[in-house]
Chains A and B, each alone.
Chain A
Amino acid sequence: MSAASAPALRELQRWFASVTTHPQGVLEGGFNPKRSKQLERLVTPGPQLSAVERLQIYNDGYFARLVECLTDDYPALSYALGESDFAALARAYIEQHPSRSRSLNTYGKHMATFCRTRSEPWAAFASDLARLEWALVEVVHEPVSQSLAADVLSTIPAAGWQTARLLPSRGLRLLAFDYPVNLFFQAFRDEREPELPQPAPAATVVYRQGLALWRMELQPRAALLLKDLICGVPLAVAVAALETRSIDVKTREELARLLPQWLGSWVQSGFFNGVELA
Chain B
Amino acid sequence: MAIGHCANTRVTDPNENHMQERFGLRNLGIGVGLRTAHYREILEHSPSVDWFEVLSENFMQTAGRPLEVLDQIAERYPLAMHGVSLSIGSTDPLDWDYLRELKALRERTRAHWVSDHLCWTGVAGRNTHDLLPLPFTEEALLHTARRVREVQNFLETPLVLENPSSYVEFSGTPLKEWEFLKGVVEMADAGILLDVNNVYVSAKNHGFDPETYLRALPMQRVVQIHVAGHTDYGTHAIDTHVGPVPDPVWRLLARARELGANAPVLLEWDAEIPSFAVVHAEAERAREFLGNVDVAGAA
Chain A residues within 8 Å of B, Cβ to Cβ: 1-3, 5-6, 8-10, 12-14, 16-17, 20-21, 41-44, 46-49, 51, 53-55, 57-58, 61-62, 65-66, 69, 98-106, 139-144, 170-171, 208, 211
Query: Could you tell me if B132 and A58 are in contact, using CB atoms closer than 8 angstroms?
Result: yes
Q: Could you tell me if A51 and B57 are in contact, using CB atoms closer than 8 angstroms?
A: no
How would residues 187 to 230 of chain B score, 1 for a CB under 8 Å from any chain A CB and 0 otherwise? 00000000000000000011100000000000000000000000
Known: A14-B124, A102-B85. A6 touches B62 (CB 8 A): no
Q: What's the nearest-Cβ distance from chain A to residue B96, in Å? A: 12
CA distance A54 to B170 in the complex (A): 11
With A57-B168, A99-B126, A142-B64 already in contact, 15 other A-B pairs whose C-beta atoms are closer than 8 Å: A13-B90, A13-B91, A13-B132, A17-B128, A43-B168, A46-B169, A46-B205, A47-B206, A49-B205, A54-B167, A54-B168, A65-B129, A100-B127, A102-B57, A211-B68
Number of interface residues of B (CB under 8 A): 50
A33 vs chain B, min Cβ distance (A): 19
Chain B residues packing against A (C-beta within 8 Å):
39, 57-58, 60-66, 68-69, 85, 87, 90-91, 95, 98, 120, 122-130, 132, 134-135, 137, 139-140, 143, 167-174, 205-207, 234-236, 238
Q: Pick the contact of B170 from A2, A12, A14, A20 — CB < 8 Å?
A: A12
Q: Are B126 and A17 within 8 A (Cβ)?
A: yes
A25 to B140, CA, bound (A): 27
The residue in chain B whose Cβ has the minimal distance to the Cβ of A11 is B91
Closest to B142 in A: A9
Once the chains bind, are B126 and A105 in contact (CB under 8 Å)? no
The residue in chain B whose Cβ has the minimal distance to the Cβ of A139 is B64
Contact B65–A140 (Cβ < 8 Å): yes
Contacts of A100 in B (CB 8 A): 125-127
Please pick, from B60, B137, B143, B234, the residue contacting A102 in the complex, using a CB distance under 8 A.
Answer: B60
- Nearest-Cβ distance from residue B46 to partner chain A, whole angstroms: 16
User: Once the chains are docked, how many angstroms separate the CA of A211 from the CA of B67?
Assistant: 11
Q: What's the minimum C-beta distance from B113 to chain A, rounded to whole angstroms?
A: 19
Q: Which residues of chain B have C-beta atoms less than 8 A from A171's C-beta?
A: 64
Max chain B C-beta neighbours (<10 A), residue from A6, A43, A142 = A6
Of B123, B127, B172, which one neighbours A10 at CB under 8 angstroms? B123
Residues of A within 8 A of B128 (CB): 17, 20-21, 62, 99
- A20: min CB distance to chain B, Å: 7
Q: How far is the CA of A101 from the CA of B123 in the complex (A)?
A: 12
Q: How far is the CA of A170 from the CA of B65 in the complex (A)?
A: 13
Tell me whether A98 and B129 are in contact in the complex, defined as CB-CB below 8 angstroms, given that A6-B137, A103-B60 are known contacts: no
CA gap between A127 and B122 in the complex, in Å: 30
Are the C-beta atoms of A6 and B172 separated by less than 8 Å?
yes
| Given the contacts A48-B235, A141-B66, A58 and B130 also touching, CB distance less than 8 Å | yes
Within 8 Å by CB of B236, from A9, A12, A46, A66, lies: A46
Q: Give the interface centre of B60, B130, B234 by most chain A CB atoms within 10 Å.
A: B130
> Does B61 contact A105, Cβ atoms closer than 8 Å?
yes
Q: Are A8 and B139 in contact (CB under 8 A)?
A: yes
Contact B171 A44 (CB under 8 A): yes
Q: Contacts of A10 on B, CB cut-off 8 Å?
A: 91, 123
Q: Is the CB of B91 within 8 A of A9?
A: yes
Q: A42-B171, A43-B170 are in contact. Are A9 and B137 (CB under 8 A)?
A: yes
Shortest A82–chain B CB gap in Å is: 22
- Alpha-carbon distance A115/B87, docked complex (angstroms): 31
Query: Are A57 and B167 in touch, CB under 8 angstroms?
Result: yes
Report the minimum CB–CB distance from A146 to chain B (whole Å): 14
Contacts of B207 in A (CB 8 A): 46-47
B164 to chain A, nearest CB (A): 12
Residues of B within 8 A of A48 (CB): 234-236
Report yes or no: A99 in contact with B137, Cβ–Cβ below 8 A: no
